A = this chain, B = another copy of it.
Amino acid sequence: MIGFCLVGGGFIGPLHAANIAARPDARLRWIVDVNLAAAEALAAKHGGRPTGELDRALEDDDVDAVMICTPPRTHASIIERAAKAGKAVFCEKPIDLDMARVLSCGDVLDAAGTPFFVAFNRRFDPSHRALHDALRAGEIGQIEMAVLSSRDPEISPPDYVAAMPYGIFYDTMIHDFDMVRWLMADEPVEIIARTACMLDAVTNPHRDPDTAMVMLRMAGGALVHVNSSFRAVYGYDQRIEVFGERGMLISRNRQPTTVERYGADGVRQDPLLYFFLDRYAESYARELGEFIAALSERRPPPIGFDDGRRALLIAESAVESAKSGAPVSIPA
């Protein structure tokens, strides 16, 4: 039985709270939010004690793990406080947006020997995972190319965009960078990025890139393309295609229903699931299970600090290439 302290009751917090509550091998002990009302509402629904003070929860011996669902800029310090309190950490990506801060945080984790998990949830999607497992089993032999499409139906609100320029790399494609590393079991050595502002000035007032393509060269020679957009009107579009010497594997999108509608104007199926929490619902439930299993069996969580660091490094390199126009080498 793993006791959780969940920090951050907004956005993705409620999803994780519900997932913890639904498991027979976990308990929600505390919900921490500076907005106490949010913590209270969540606690009323899924259990746990609400508080505005993290330290109170960290003092509780029944708390085995801290789950961090707060905004990115707060991650590093909460990670460190949890580590120093001897708790395991489940952290939404990124660790931080500043690499120096990431590295200092890593030192604290190392010193404390903290079991640390950075929540690249897509690795736990059943289709992406089946593709991964087929690659590892050698189904298509040597991997030669990959094409990832990763498109959101909407851009984030202006405040959110202002707080994280180049979010298309730092917030969105960072998932794809992690997927590329995991799927190909290889590291990218070069990246070239191009961006565009396609949305109008009302929707994207800061003129932050809302459209992007990158090309990656992997250490083993394979070539990778990733594209993103913040305007996929047909839903949250998440596809992975990997090509190799003996074939191709594709993880397609999932639709809410399997209904086909035949009419005089053609055959129509559902639009894609619109919201990423719906699209990846299974992956969120499964990543929690994997984290709990790792803690229970005293082995390291399946995605660790260095995975978080590497993905951020690739995102940083993408930004640099997008700004300069030149290819950027990614340090080992």
A: residues with CB less than 8 A from B are 21-22, 24, 45-46, 126-127, 130-131, 134, 139-140, 142, 144-145, 147, 149, 151, 192, 194, 196, 198, 211-213, 215, 217, 221-223, 225, 227, 229, 231-234, 237, 243, 245-272, 325-327
Contacts and interface: CB of A to CB of B under 8 A. Distances in A.
Given A147-B147, A229-B145, A258 B253 contact: yes
A311 to B, nearest CB: 21
Given A131-B259, A259-B127, A261-B139, A198 B215 contact: no
Greatest chain B CB density within 10 A among A46, A222, A260, A327 is at A260
A203 to B, nearest CB: 11
27 contacts: A127-B257, A127-B258, A130-B259, A131-B259, A134-B259, A139-B261, A140-B263, A145-B213, A196-B221, A196-B222, A213-B225, A223-B227, A227-B243, A231-B245, A232-B248, A247-B261, A249-B260, A251-B257, A251-B259, A253-B258, A263-B271, A266-B268, A266-B270, A267-B268, A267-B272, A268-B269, A326-B327
Number of copies: 4
Given A127-B258, A130-B259, A268-B267, A142 B198 contact: yes
Contact of A211 (B144, B225, B229): B144
Given A266-B269, A326-B326, A249 B223 contact: no
Contacts of A253: 258
Given A145-B213, A147-B149, A265 B258 contact: no
A259 B240 CA distance: 9
A327 B324 CA distance: 11
Given A256-B126, A257-B251, A268-B265, A223 B213 contact: yes
A217 to B, nearest CB: 6
A120 B219 CA distance: 36
Nearest to A195: B223
Contacts of A237: 248, 262
Contacts of A261: 134, 139, 247-249
Given A144-B211, A233-B246, A247-B263, 7 more contacts: A144-B231, A225-B227, A232-B243, A233-B264, A234-B247, A265-B271, A266-B269
A251 B257 CA distance: 8
A118 B271 CA distance: 33
Contacts of A225: 147, 213, 215, 225, 227
A145 B211 contact: yes
Contact of A24 (B46, B140, B196, B325): B46
A140 B268 CA distance: 13
Greatest chain B CB density within 10 A among A21, A249, A254, A258 is at A258
Given A130-B257, A253-B258, A263 B245 contact: no
Contact of A263 (B231, B234, B251, B254): B234
Contacts of A269: 266-268
A243 to B, nearest CB: 6
